[in-house]
RNA sequence: GCCGAUGUAGCUCAGCUGGUCAGAGCUACUGAUUUGUAAUCAGUAGGUCGGGGGUUCGAAUCCCUCCAUCGGCUCCA
């Protein structure tokens, strides 16, 4: 008897009943049979060798499919468990799922410390076991039998899992000397795993509950080819090189000091230049949009944050208050309450609206990149009055309004429930750093609560008092985050307008230091940031150092240049660009900056 | 808060089974060299080995404690 198998391209093939997905793969091509890792049968991911008993939609999953990768990594977790059991007989296992980049297994070593130094021997053992190409064997088992099995093995974790499983749906998988309670699926045998790297060991609470004991979580990743592992490791190295903490220090952008305190950056001269350039751009943009600048103090009394309503929500992320004359003062964690006070003093009429205020103040909160996404955060109705201001009508109104704006402006976004601010919905720009950390860069927040708390009003056209709605904006987020993002995005190779130092003037020998300084003066007079490397070094060394410092332009000058009042231009990463008159170089730089800044 | 790692000269790191273990490279400084597109040579200087306490005849090294940094504590057989 035959069954009909429908493949993703909608072609239909007939096979004897009970054929496996592997049989299908073999019938299509030898290469496919070699690369296939698992099969999706009628939407369910299954082992390749399980017989198919009826007509089915079949997708053969390879390393190029997320589900194929996950199957491989899940099987790798079992392989790691086998290796661990070899060296640590009696260890207990909790769960070992595939994750974003690889897999982990949570392990109870019974008090023994397992540290990163122990990873290598496990890795080696895994490689040895992988070579044996042991099959992953599936076995269906009754619940009672399963309970007996894991009771005998004195395994409280698997018994805990079993307690939530239904009889008839329980399976064990065995490869080599290791058997685990597992729903599968798995790759056919351990030989598919060709490259192994155990990456990290960390603590993780059992069931993610800090009241529970802590298990040892071991992270790893595997590949079907050695070359893919090498590429992955190279990618990690590359990301590490972009880490803003490393580059920031290297380029003398910012530093931290134990005496100043954690999370309190000291912006060095190079960092200050970047901040000032960014603010200059932001100020210009805001001025064009009708914003007016204000300045407010770094402190405010507790009463203001009680009025605004921030204190209960932000207490954890604000520094503790300082007391003076019986009053509590807080370092400001946000500008908006101060700005509400200014609004009140302005006492506007509807003709004055909207009032647009902007400030680049220092706020205090306790606490690489190629992609970003607009995140529209909304509230969770069940949490009104707790996490959110209790005003369901305004929530609905403003959320609909913001959604409409996003759609009409053609801005792609993802909607995230239960992430709104306590006073209203918000739009964030989410980015991912080179080292994989997600954070919020810029934010726009609708606020229909705080203006009322401050008693803000304006006079409407009917000469009645009305409460305004406030929109909070943080176009740059914090300097730390924004500049951190820029560092990683550019890997420290800032565009000309942001580069702390734009031009290095490199005299061939000290005979030309005088001319170099003249050229520097011309640059300075033209608002170009430059320096002269007048060290007693050979030109090759000066160039090398300027390249390492990521200086966008180098001007090499010697006898020829001095005679003709020219400079020999070299561009960072691009090499020799020929000779220009000094004034032509100035024009070129100014034009380039202008072009970069005209968005 | 918890688990693990790390903290040695301005920077990157070696030394850490206790006794020529206080080192290297870069940087800085001095001198020689006067250099044409990614490292000239030589010399000099620089450190309470994160802070504090303890064990010992003797501690960078072992123990305790505190501080700071990094990774993790989300992806449920």
Question: A558: helix, coil or strand?
Answer: coil
Q: In what order do the strands lie in the sheet with A413-416?
A: A413-416, A372-377, A426-432, A438-447, A470-474
Q: How far apart are CA A314 and CA A451, in angstroms?
A: 18
Nucleotide nearest to A104 (CA to C1'): B75
**Fold entry, domain A67-233:** 3.30.980
* pLDDT computed for residue A285 by the predictor: 86
Q: Is the CB of A95 under 7 A from strand B?
A: yes
* pLDDT computed for residue A399 by the predictor: 86
Residue nearest to nucleotide B77 (CA to C1'): A182
* Omega of the bond leading into A104 within 30 degrees of 0 (cis): no
A104: alpha, beta or left? (left if phi > 0; alpha if psi -120 to 50): beta
Q: Is the CB of A210 under 7 A from strand B?
A: yes
Strand B bases with any atom < 7 A from protein Cβ: 1-5, 11-12, 28-29, 31-40, 67-77
CATH architecture label of A2-62: Roll (3.10)
Q: Is the CB of A137 under 7 A from strand B?
A: no
* pLDDT computed for residue A563 by the predictor: 96
* pLDDT computed for residue A370 by the predictor: 39
Q: Is the CB of A174 under 7 A from strand B?
A: no
A469, with CB counted inside 10 A (0-12, 13-18, 19+), is buried
* pLDDT computed for residue A368 by the predictor: 37
Nucleotide nearest to A166 (CA to C1'): B77
Q: How far apart are CA A451 and CA A456, in angstroms?
A: 5
Q: Is the CB of A99 under 7 A from strand B?
A: yes
> Does 3.40.50.800 match the CATH number of domain A503-597?
yes
- Residues 351-410 in A having a C-beta less than 7 A from any atom of strand B are none
Q: Is the CB of A580 under 7 A from strand B?
A: no
Q: Is the CB of A295 under 7 A from strand B?
A: no
Kindly report the length of chain A. Answer: 599
Q: Is the CB of A11 under 7 A from strand B?
A: no
Q: In this structure, what are the phi and psi dihedrals at residue A17, rounded to the nearest 5 degrees?
A: -55, 135
Those residues of chain A that have pLDDT short of 70 are 316-317, 363-375, 377-378, 380-381, 383-385, 432-439, 599
Q: Is the CB of A211 under 7 A from strand B?
A: no
Q: Is the CB of A471 under 7 A from strand B?
A: no
Domain ranges in chain A are 2-62, 67-233, 273-490, 503-597
Nucleotide nearest to A561 (CA to C1'): B36
**Contacts with A490 (C-beta within 8 Å, 6 or more apart), sequence order:** none
Q: Is the CB of A110 under 7 A from strand B?
A: no
> Structure tokens of A265?
């950056």
* pLDDT computed for residue A369 by the predictor: 40
> Structure tokens of A78?
């079992």
Nucleotide nearest to A571 (CA to C1'): B37
CATH architecture label of A273-490: 2-Layer Sandwich (3.30)
**Interatomic distance A348 CA / B7 C1' (Å):** 57
């Amino acid at each position: 008897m035959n069954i009909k198998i429908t493949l993703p391209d909608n072609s239909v093939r007939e096979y004897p009943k009970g054929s496996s997905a592997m049989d299908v793969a073999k019938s299509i091509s030898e290469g496919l049979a070699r690369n296939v890792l698992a099969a999706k049968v009628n939407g369910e991911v299954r082992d390749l060798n399980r017989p198919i008993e009826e007509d089915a939609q079949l997708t053969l999953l390879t390393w190029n499919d997320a589900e194929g990768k996950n199957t491989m990594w899940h099987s790798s977790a079992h392989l790691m468990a086998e290796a661990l059991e070899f060296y640590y007989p009696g260890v207990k296992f909790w769960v070992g799922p595939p994750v974003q980049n690889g897999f982990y297994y949570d392990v109870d070593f019974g008090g023994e410390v397992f540290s990163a130094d122990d990873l290598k021997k496990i890795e080696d053992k895994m490689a040895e076991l992988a070579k044996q190409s042991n099959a992953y064997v599936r076995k269906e088992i009754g619940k009672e039998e399963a309970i007996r099995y894991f009771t005998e093995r004195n395994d409280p974790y698997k018994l805990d899992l079993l307690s939530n499983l239904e009889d008839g749906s329980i399976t064990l998988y065995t490869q080599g000397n290791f058997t685990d309670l597992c729903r599968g699926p798995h790759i056919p045998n351990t030989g598919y795993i060709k490259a192994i790297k155990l990456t990290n060991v960390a603590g993780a609470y059992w069931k993610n509950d800090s009241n529970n004991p802590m298990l040892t979580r071991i992270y790893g990743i595997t590949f079907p080819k050695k070359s893919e592992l090498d590429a992955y490791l190279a990618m990690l190295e590359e990301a590490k090189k972009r880490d803003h903490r490393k580059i920031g220090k290297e380029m003398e952008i910012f530093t931290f000091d134990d005496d100043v305190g954690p999370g309190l950056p000291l912006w060095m001269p190079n960092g200050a230049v970047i901040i000032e350039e960014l603010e200059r751009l932001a100020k210009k943009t805001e001025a064009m949009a009708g914003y007016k600048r204000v300045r407010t103090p770094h402190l405010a009394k507790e009463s203001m944050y009680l009025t605004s309503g921030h204190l209960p929500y932000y207490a954890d992320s604000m520094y503790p208050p300082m007391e003076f004359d019986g009053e509590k003062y807080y370092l400001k964690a946000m500008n908006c309450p101060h700005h509400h006070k200014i609004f009140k003093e302005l006492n506007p009429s509807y003709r004055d609206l909207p009032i647009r205020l902007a400030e680049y103040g220092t706020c205090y909160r306790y606490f690489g990149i190629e992609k970003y996404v607009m995140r529209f955060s909304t509230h969770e109705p069940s949490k009104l009055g707790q996490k959110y201001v209790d005003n369901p009508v305004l929530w609905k109104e403003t959320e609909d309004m913001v959604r409409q704006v996003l759609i009409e402006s053609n801005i792609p976004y993802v909607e995230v429930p239960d992430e709104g601010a306590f006073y209203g919905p918000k739009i964030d720009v989410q980015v991912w750093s080179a080292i994989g950390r997600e954070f919020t860069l810029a934010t726009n927040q609708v606020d229909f609560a705080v203006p009322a708390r401050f008693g803000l009003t304006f006079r409407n056209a009917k000469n009645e008092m009305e409460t305004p709605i406030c929109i909070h904006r943080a176009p740059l987020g914090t300097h730390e985050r924004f500049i951190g993002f820029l560092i990683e995005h550019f890997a420290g190779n800032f565009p000309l307008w942001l580069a702390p130092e734009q031009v290095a003037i490199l005299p061939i020998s000290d005979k030309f230091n005088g001319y170099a300084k003249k050229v520097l003066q011309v640059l300075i007079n033209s608002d170009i940031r430059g320096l002269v490397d007048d060290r007693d070094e050979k030109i090759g060394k000066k160039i090398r150092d300027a390249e390492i410092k990521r200086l966008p332009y180098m001007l090499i000058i010697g006898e020829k240049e001095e005679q003709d009042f020219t400079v020999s231009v070299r561009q960072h990463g691009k090499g020799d660009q020929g000779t220009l008159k000094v004034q032509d170089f100035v024009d070129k730089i100014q034009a380039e900056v202008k072009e970069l800044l005209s968005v």
